[in-house]
Amino acid sequence: MILSYATSLVAIAATAICFIIITLMYWRSPSGPLTFKRRVIIADYCLLLLYLCCHFFRSRNDETEILCVPSILSLYLLWESFLITCTTFSNGKIYANKYALLFYNLLPLSLLTPQMIYAANGHIYHFQNYDQVMQALNQAIPMEAYMRIAFVAGIIFCMLLMIVEILLQQIKYKQQIIEDKGDIRGVARRNTLYLGTGILLVTITIGQFIPTITFHAILKIGIIFTVIAITRFYVNLHKHIKKLESHSYNRGKTIKEKIDQWLDQDPFPLSNTELTMEKTAASIGIPTMALSYYIYEFAGKTFLSWQSECRMLQCRELLKDNNKNISEIAYECGYSDLAAMSKAFKKRFGVAPTVYRKKLSGEKGQ
C-alpha cells in the first residue's frame, strides 16, 4: 500500500512539474498556426494528471480493482487524446468526419450510461479479483456484471480501432513527406515518441485486468520516465522551432517573411511546375529542413497542397486586374490550362474564376 501511494505521488508530482514547464513555455509563445497543436499537448498533460489523480484521491485502493469504470473511462480519454495528438501533428483531419466523431464518443457514452444508473442507485460492483467477477456472473440475473463486461469490451474495441487509425495515419504522413522529398528526421523522432507512448498506454490498459499493487507501482515508474522523455522532446522541439524562426538564423528575416518575399516575385515562382522541395528551398535561400518544417508544421500542409494554396491565392489576386485574361492568369500561376485552374479555384473558393471576377466588378461599380 505504501509503495503504491508513494509511486502515485511521485508520478503525480513529476507530471505536474512537466505540465507547468510545458504550459509556461507555450504561454509565452506568440499565437499562430501552431497554437492549436500546443493546446492539444497541454490537454494531454491534463488528462494524464486526471488519470493519476483518479487513483490517488479515491477512498478505496482501486489500483487493485479490475474492470474499474472511473479508471477505464479516464484511460479512454487518454487514448482519445493520444489519437488527436498523433492526427493533429500528422496534419490529419479524422474529426472532420462526423461519423468518426460520433463513433468514438457516442459508443463509450452509451456503454457508460447503464454504469452511471447503477452507481446512482448504489448498485455497483468493485471487483478486487476474478473470483468476485465469477461470483457476480453466477447470480440469478447477473445483468450488472454483463453490462460492466460489455462496457469494458466496447472501450477496448474503440482503443484497438484508434491504434489502427494512428498506424495508418503515420504511414500515410511519412509517405507524403518521402514523396515530397522533405525532411523525415522529425517524423522519425516523433514516431519513436509515439511508439513509447503507445506501449505505455497499452501497458496501462493491461493493468486494468491485473489486480496486483506491484504491477501498478512499476507502471507508475514507467509513467514517470515516459513523461520526462516526452517533456524533453517537446522542449527541444520548441527550441528548434524558435531557432528556425529567429531573425539571426535567417539573416534578418523569419522563414515566413522570406517565403512571402519569394512568392511576391515577378514572374510568379510557382509557375514552374517542376519545382521540388529542394529546388524551392534553394530558390528561397533557406535550408530544405527549414522549408519542410514551415510547410508541414507551421502551414499544416503537404508540399503539393501548399503549392496549390499559394497558386490559388495568386490567382485570386490577379483576378482583381480586369486587363488580364483568365487563361493568361492560369498559365502565370502554373496551371496547364484554364479548365484545371477553374476546377481548383472553385474547389478552394466555392465559385468559378469568371463568377468571382464579375462579383469583384459589381462591388467596384457600387
CATH of residue 43's domain is 1.20.1070
273 and 237 within one domain: no
> Once rounded to an integer, what is the mean pLDDT over residues 277-294?
85
Instruction: Check which CATH number belongs to the domain holding 311 and give it.
Output: 1.10.10.60
280 and 188 within one domain: no
315 and 235 within one domain: no
Q: Tell me, yes or no, whether 250 lies in a domain.
A: no
Q: In this model, does residue 366 exceed pLDDT 60?
A: no
> Once rounded to an integer, what is the mean pLDDT over residues 81-99?
75
271 and 212 within one domain: no
Those residues whose C-beta lies under 8 Å from the C-beta of residue 197, and which sit 6 or more positions away, are: 82, 226, 230
151 and 34 within one domain: yes
Which domain does 172 fall in, by range?
2-245
> Once rounded to an integer, what is the mean pLDDT over residues 88-110?
78
Q: Tell me, yes or no, whether 83 lies in a domain.
A: yes
Cell numbers representing residue 338 in the block: 484554364
312 and 207 within one domain: no
pLDDT band at 79 (very low <50, low <70, confident <90, very high): very high
187 and 104 within one domain: yes
275 and 230 within one domain: no
Q: In this model, does residue 227 exceed pLDDT 70?
A: yes
Q: In this model, does residue 68 exceed pLDDT 80?
A: yes
Number of domains observed in the structure of the chain: 2
337 and 196 within one domain: no
Taking alpha carbons only, the member of 258, 236, 237, 239 closest to residue 247 is 258
Q: Is 118 exposed, middle or buried (0-12, 13-18, 19+ CB in 10 A)?
A: middle
Select the more confidently predicted residue: 92 or 354: 354
138 and 235 within one domain: yes
Q: In this model, does residue 65 exceed pLDDT 50?
A: yes
274 and 310 within one domain: yes
Last residue in a domain, options 221, 245, 269: 245
CA distance 45 to 149: 29
pLDDT tens figures, 36-59: 888 889 999 999 998 888 766 654
- Give the per-residue pLDDT at 15: 94
Segment among 66-75, 95-104, 212-221 with least mean pLDDT: 95-104
Q: Is 178 exposed, middle or buried (0-12, 13-18, 19+ CB in 10 A)?
A: exposed
pLDDT, mean over the chain: 84
- Give the per-residue pLDDT at 59: 41
| Rounded percentage of the chain residues whose pLDDT exceeds 90 | 25
Terminal alpha carbon distance of the chain: 78
